């Protein structure tokens, strides 16, 4: 029967008393010591404090403001979106119907409908597709409210729901 010495309590125990690990097959501490450490860690409340602190920072809100903490990919995507919206709104960056100008709610709309089918054929990256295809005609900038109103007025189906 194989045995192993626990790194914390220093007792020699059968390997069945250790959790499995990828490194040498078993963890360095026995199950009892591991559970004890987990209980101690839970008492500190560090994890819940970290979650609260993270949510207080409001990363989601700051993300669209162009904050300096914005990651490389988010900046790249935001710049791509700004470029496409600027082109299709003739530099005004406003909704074609109501004039709303908050970039967080602006998006590209298919003038003749058919966005769901287009997304199935090309994928979800509409901004990249428009740029790769030389900014084709048939698209406009709308805020999400105007897009929903247009969808209802024109009785456009989305996900087979009319």
Q: How far is CA 149 from the centre of its chain?
A: 26
**Span 94-116, pLDDT tens digits:** 998 998 888 888 989 988 887 77
Domain that holds residue 30: 3-57
Q: Is the pTM of this model over 0.85?
A: no
Residue 145: CB partners within 8 Å, gap ≥ 6?
A: 98, 100, 105
Q: What is the number of structural domains in the chain? A: 2
Residues 71 and 135 in one domain: yes
Residues 48 and 68 in one domain: no
Query: How sure is the predictor about 48, in pLDDT bands with cuts at 50, 70 and 90?
Result: low
Residues 53 and 68 in one domain: no
Residues 28 and 74 in one domain: no
Cα–Cα distances in angstroms (integers) from residue 102 to residues 83, 92, 99, 107, in the given order: 15, 11, 10, 10
Whether 161 is covered by a domain: the verdict is no
Residues 46 and 98 in one domain: no
pLDDT at 47: 64
Query: How sure is the predictor about 63, in pLDDT bands with cuts at 50, 70 and 90?
Result: very low
Residues 32 and 84 in one domain: no
């Amino acid at each position: 029967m194989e045995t192993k010495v626990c790194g914390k309590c220093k007792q020699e125990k059968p390997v069945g008393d250790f959790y499995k690990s990828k490194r040498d097959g078993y963890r360095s501490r026995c199950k009892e010591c591991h559970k004890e450490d987990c209980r101690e860690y839970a008492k500190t409340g560090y994890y819940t404090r970290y979650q609260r602190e993270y949510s207080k920072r409001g990363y989601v809100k700051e993300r669209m403001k162009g904050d300096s903490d914005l990651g490389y990919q988010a900046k790249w995507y935001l710049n791509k979106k700004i470029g496409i919206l600027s082109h299709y709104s003739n530099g005004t960056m406003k909704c074609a119907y109501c004039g709303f100008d908050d970039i967080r709610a602006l998006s590209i709309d298919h003038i003749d409908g058919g966005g769901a089918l287009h997304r199935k054929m090309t994928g979800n990256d509409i901004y990249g597709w428009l740029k790769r295809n030389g900014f084709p005609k048939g698209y406009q900038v709308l805020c999400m409210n105007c897009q929903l109103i247009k969808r209802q007025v024109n009785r456009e189906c989305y996900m087979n729901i009319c």
